Structures are given as C-alpha cells and as structure tokens.
Structure 1
Amino acid sequence: MATSKNLTPSGNGGRRLSFWNNDPFESLHDDMDRLFSRYLTPSLLHRPSALLGSDMSAQNYAQMDVRESDEAIDIKVDVPGMDVDDINVTLTDKTLLTIRGERKTESEEKLKDFYRVERAYGSFLRRIDLPAEVDENKIDASVKRGVLSLHLPKTAQAKAHEKKIKIKAS
C-alpha cells in the first residue's frame, strides 16, 4: 500500500506536512531547511549581532578583538563617539571581564528655513571569560580614536600553570 501525504498549503512556507510518512530523513531535511532559512539568510550573514539574539542590535554591538600572549591578554573594543565616562569595565574573580557602554549622541542643525534634531541612544554589554587569571593591579585601559584598549597582564600563577607537553614521533 502506498503512503499518503497531506499536501495542503499551510502557514509553514509551503512545505508539505507528512502525517503518514515516517521517513526520518524527510523530517531531518525539513528541520535543516528551517535552520538555514532562519539563520543563514543573506541579511543575517552581514549582521553578526542578528545571531546573538534580539536584545542586541547591530548598532549596539561592540566589535572586539582579543589576543593572548604568554605574558598578557590584549583586548580592543570599538566604542566610536563614546566618552570615557560612558564606558564601564569590571573584572570579577580575576577571570571574568565585563565591558559596558552607553552611547548618547545628539545633533542639532538650524538654518534659515530648516531645523533638524537627531538623537541616538544605545547600550552594549560584553562579557569575556578570560583564559587565565590576570593581575588586576596592573591592568591598563585607554580610549583613543574610538577604540578602547585593555592590556591585562597575567598573574605569575597563571604563567606558571602553563606547561609545554612534549610530543613523541611514532
């Protein structure tokens, strides 16, 4: 007896509903289609913040670079147009770094027959689990040309914990 499929259109993007067919690959295929259509559409590929959840918009997402050396962890965060007072950096338990910022910009333009006021507000929060303990007394933080730079020297204990593993050739 042939299997029967319901091909009635529905609100699921025109995909067929398989009530009587127990083909596991068809179900997997449908799940993969939903995953790719939701997360890998061209508009989302150009907005990394879209994959992070609805609470972070593209304009509020602070781009960040993290580099680790034997001696320290260096972090650079884009904070264009922000004052030092608008940025808050905290370290918890020598390994959890939290960077918060709030943008507040306002521009006003008055001409003879033209008046324009624009305001933009937004905040961001970035938390980084550091790969090693850092010396909180030697942290250096500065902002230059819209980039927050953090230099976090590792503690002596963190440097001592690192052990090179010898690899044998077979």
Structure 2
Amino acid sequence: MSDRDPFSEIERAFDMLEEQFGVDMGAIPVDVVDEGDAFVVHADLPGYDSDDIDVQLVEDREVTISATSSREQESTDGQYVQRERRQQSLSRSVRLPESVDEAETTASYDNGVLTVRLEKIVHSEGDDGTDIPVN
C-alpha cells in the first residue's frame, strides 16, 4: 500500500494553478457595477448562511467581504475509522474608484449571492472642494 496522500497532491495542483495562471482559489468572485449614483457589488457565496458573511467598508473606498463556514458530518453508527470536517474561509477586498456614503450602504443575501449597494457621496455642482486658508 502506498503512503501517498491524494489530497495533498490535489492541493499542490491548485497551488501550481495559482502560481502559473494567477487563479486564486481562495478568493470570492465578484462583479462591481457602476450604476451612476451607486456601486453595486455582487459576490458569489454559495453554501453559506447570511450569519457566516461579514461585510466591512474601510475608509469610504474599500469593501471587504469575508465568509467562514464550518460543517461537520456526524454519525453514531459504529466506531470511527475516519471522520472529516470541513472548514472554509474566504475573503476579498475591492477598492472602489470613488468614495461612498457609509450611512447609505446596504447588503442582502439571496440564493448564494451577496449584493452590496454602496451609494456614492454626492457632490454639489459648484462644489470645488473645501477652501483651506493659508497663514
């Protein structure tokens, strides 16, 4: 019988994919849509509960999405020869091209898709910034 671990070989194959092709197997796939008055981020998170998902807005321009899931298969039949648990953590940060209003940010989760709506900060027409007096 061989001492080879097929799971470690699979992990090595994924590591090689990541190195050679820039495929990050631990990243959350996202789409970011500019709707004019808001950015909408769609993130695919199948198999997670809404309680497993954390969304944070960092410095008005960066959204960080993280998800952690832990599953354990239990069986009371017989004596365990092998027992496996699954724990998975994913995260993704997305830098936005403009600042957004923290108070007007909403998130919803439906059928494995997280949708985060981030309203842009509205600048008035004549607003050329804030004057800073020079002494």
Range into which the TM-score falls when normalised by the shorter chain? 0.5 to 0.7
Extract unaligned runs of 5+ from structure 2: 1-15, 127-135
* Residue matched to 1:65: 31
The TM-score with structure 2 as length reference comes to 0.66
The TM-score with structure 1 as length reference comes to 0.54
Give the paired residue count: 111
Point out the structure with the larger strand share.
2
2:90 partner amino acid: F
Cα RMSD, aligned residues only: 3.1
Q: Is the 8 A contact 1:109 1:117 kept in 2?
A: no
Instruction: Supply the distance in 2 between the matched residues of 1:108 and 1:49 (Cα, whole angstroms).
Output: 38
Q: 1:132 aligns with which of 98, 113, 120?
A: 98
Extract unaligned runs of 5+ from structure 1: 1-42, 162-170
Point out the structure with the larger helix share.
1
1:130 partner amino acid: L
Structure 1's 155 and 48: CA in aligned 2 closer, same or farther, altered over 3 A? farther
SS in 1 for 2:51: helix
Larger radius of gyration: 1
Instruction: Supply the distance in 1 between the matched residues of 2:19 and 2:28 (Cα, whole angstroms).
Output: 11
Equivalence map 1:9-158=2 (5 Å): 44=17, 51=22, 56=24, 58=25, 60-108=26-74, 117-157=83-123
Instruction: Supply the distance in 2 between the matched residues of 1:152 and 1:67 (Cα, whole angstroms).
Output: 10
**Relative contact order (alpha carbons < 8 A, sep ≥ 6): 1 or 2 greater?**
2
